[in-house]
Structure 1
Amino acid sequence: MKYMLMVLGNQADYDAMGGKGSAGNPAWSEADVKAMFDHMNALNDDLAESGEWVDGQGLTEPRRTRLVSAGADGSPVVSDGPYGETKEVLAGYWIVDVADFSRAAEIAARAHACPVPEGAPNYPVVVRPVDEGAGTEM
């Protein structure tokens, strides 16, 4: 069964990883960023080796997000996003193909164990089944 494992974040987190800290988001050092990437790359390699990897990507910072709707004539209407009241956005994800939810949860726990600097937020990993057809259940 396929699951999407989602890592959350916000603009302040991306700023902190770039060395610009703020209240509740201490600046990350180069060593902190390297430790994070090393952890995630090891997880990715293990998933690929086990055959559970389908896809995974880190996403760009929220300030580069755009919202698209359709105008009355069907043409795209583009605006900045996400909205200011958005607390967290999708920062990255994996699609894994595993035997069951328990295995997806194990992988999510490993992703959550990624090292972060002292005092930095560490959001839970969202695990959601991929709908591969009618009647799919967790």
Structure 2
Amino acid sequence: MKYMMMVLASQADYDAQSGKGAEGIPEWSQKDLQAMFDHMGAINNDLAESGELIDAQGLAEPAQTRLISRGKNGVEITDGPYGETKEMLAGYWLLDCASFERVTEIAARVLECPTPANSPDYPIVVRPIGEVPDTVES
């Protein structure tokens, strides 16, 4: 079964990783960043070796986001970040795992990622990818 496993973050988290901490979000050092990259890299390597990894990507900061929506006068385009949004998708894995239990184990491992003390904790979101039936009745 295929799953999408998603990690969340806020613009302030990206700022902290760039050396600009804020209230409640400590600044990341180069050592902190390297520990995170090492942890995530080890997970990716293990998933590639097991054949469960389809794709994994970190996403650019929310400040580089664009929202395209339908407005009263047609298409509206808004640049991010969005004040009403606490956190956004920061990265994802596309996985092919034998069970929901297995992808849950992987998500728990991601949660063990080292971060600076007092950093915000975000949940990992896991969603099965819908299977399209072989035949569709009309």
TM-score by structure 2 length?
Answer: 0.90
Q: Does 1:61 align with 2:61?
A: yes
2:92 counterpart residue number: 93
2:136 counterpart residue number: none
SS at match of 2:12: helix
CA contact (8 A) 2:64 2:81 kept: no
Distance in 2 (alpha carbons) for counterparts of 1:80 and 1:18: 20
Q: Deviations over 1:88-118 (max 9, x none)?
A: 1000000100001000000000111100000
1:115 counterpart residue number: 114
Distance in 1 (alpha carbons) for counterparts of 2:15 and 2:5: 23
Counterpart residue type for residue 96 of structure 1: L
SS at match of 2:116: coil
Cα 1:108–1:22 shift into 2, 3 Å? same
SS at match of 2:126: strand
Q: Does 1:132 align with 2:123?
A: no
Cα 1:82–1:22 shift into 2, 3 Å? closer
Counterpart residue type for residue 110 of structure 1: R
CA contact (8 A) 1:3 1:95 kept: yes
Q: Deviations over 1:1-51 (max 9, x none)?
A: 011100000000000011111011000000000000000011001000000
Question: How do 1:76-87 and structure 2 match up within 5 A?
Answer: 77-87=76-86
2:47 counterpart residue number: 47
Cα 1:73–1:100 shift into 2, 3 Å? same
Number of aligned residue pairs: 133
SS at match of 1:69: strand
Runs of at least 5 residues in structure 2 that lack an aligned partner in the other structure: 134-138
CA contact (8 A) 2:17 2:27 kept: yes
- Note the C-alpha offset of 1:82: 4.3
Counterpart residue type for residue 125 of structure 1: I
TM-score by structure 1 length?
Answer: 0.90
- After the TM superposition, list the runs of 4 or more consecutive aligned residues in structure 1 that deviate by more than 2 angstroms: 69-74
Question: How do 1:2-41 and structure 2 match up within 5 A?
Answer: 2-41=2-41
Q: CA RMSD in A?
A: 1.7
SS at match of 1:27: coil
